[in-house]
Amino acid sequence: MKHLQGSPWLLAHRSMLKPNQPKKFSLFGQDYVLWQDLQGTIAALPNACPHMGAMLSEGWCVTQPQGSSRIACPFHALEFDHQGCTILPGSSKQTKSLLPPLELIIQGDLIWTYGGYEPKVPIPELMNEIASEYEFIGVTGERSIPTDILSLLLNMHDYNHQNGTHRELFEIEEVQVKQFIDEGLHSHAYLAQPRKQPTMREILKNPAQLALPKVLEAHLENYFPFMGVMHGDNKILSLKECHFYLPEFANRSRIFVLMYMQAHSPIAHLLKRNLLKLIDVVVEQDARILSQIYPHTTQRIRLNNEAGMDWVRRSFEQFPSAR
Ligand code: FES
Ligand SMILES: [Fe+2]
């Protein structure tokens, strides 16, 4: 975990923060509380109250006359502003900052941070382009998984695990990596995935089977170590499935997926909920396998199509240098 400092991390999409409802998150072994006030201003402070260590994320928000809000500690109700200052009982004076605020970079609805470390990798423009050109359909697959960030990233760039981890979902017969473009910490994988042909019975049971192509084509665009975007297009819709990864602790990592689409047919709108659910199942299956592997096993067998994992391993070793 120690050498991923300097990467940007997407903490949340604004829709994940209900106004005045504190949310806890962890990054590099530190817990923080994140909250959004009624005016849409977002702040983050270390989560341990400087009085006696209670979790501020378990507290509540107190709206000030001018509309911003302070976070109140659940133990003795001290209130902290965005700068981590409080007013002690019996005093009318504000203290100096007792909790150093975490620096956030807010781009539209996207809440990024470098976790307080010096930036070494830029925040990609891609997410702003997607957010401005596509309709946001929602957040899905949010999980905190008991696995280290390297194991999580290897899984996300392993193009063979459809056959095992996700076998019932897509009925993919094989995965062909048509092209892998390695641009240092940025890469593209173009995949072709022939599917098992549905039987007459399966088609009768689920006619939507006919709408699925015989070969699922996918373009994955990867930004090491924090994001992977699946670009998908068909006649009904264009989809941007944006995965975000965060190292919470040495042995715990967080993932969530932001889904955006462009509808090419009115049917697309009917599929939104199914899409969110489908990806939630996919992430659940990934989370399950990640809790069922021995993470530091020496790999003694190599399969085809492991270019994505090679890219992850090299990027991890050499981070923040690109090659
Ligand atoms: S522990 Fe937070 S106010 Fe006492
Ligand atoms: Fe997966």
Rounded Cα distance, 24 and 67, in Å: 22
2-113 to CATH, choices 3.40.50.150, 3.40.50.300, 3.40.50.11400, 2.102.10.10 = 2.102.10.10
126-318 to CATH, choices 3.40.50.261, 3.90.1150.10, 3.90.380.10, 3.40.50.300 = 3.90.380.10
Least confident of 38-52, 85-99, 126-140, 201-215: 201-215
Whether 52 lines ligand 1, by a CB cut-off of 6 Å, is yes
Q: What's the confidence (pLDDT) of residue 300?
A: 95
Position of tokens 């090299």? 314
The arithmetic mean of pLDDT across residues 183-197, rounded, is 90
Rounded Cα distance, 241 and 249, in Å: 25
Domain boundaries in the chain?
A: 2-113, 126-318
pLDDT in tens, 93-148: 999 999 999 999 999 999 999 999 999 999 999 999 999 999 999 999 999 999 99
| pLDDT mean across residues, the chain | 93
At position 111, the amino acid (one-letter code) is: I
Confidence band, pLDDT 50/70/90 cuts, at residue 211: low
Ligand 2 mean position to 155 CA, how many Å? Answer: 6
The tokens for 319 are 């981070």
- High-pLDDT (> 70) share of the chain, %: 97
The arithmetic mean of pLDDT across residues 48-72, rounded, is 96
Residue nearest to atom 3 of ligand 1 (CA): 76
Integer CA distances (angstroms), 189 to 157, 212, 225, 251, 255, in order: 9, 21, 15, 28, 20
Q: What's the confidence (pLDDT) of residue 135?
A: 98
Rounded Cα distance, 304 and 174, in Å: 11
Ligand 1 mean position to 72 CA, how many Å? Answer: 9
Q: Which of 54-58, 196-200, 294-298 has the highest mean pLDDT?
A: 54-58
SS3 67: coil
Rounded Cα distance, 192 and 172, in Å: 10
Q: Sheet of 79-80: strands edge to edge?
A: 60-63, 69-72, 79-80
Residue nearest to atom 1 of ligand 1 (CA): 52
Whether 102 lines ligand 1, by a CB cut-off of 6 Å, is no
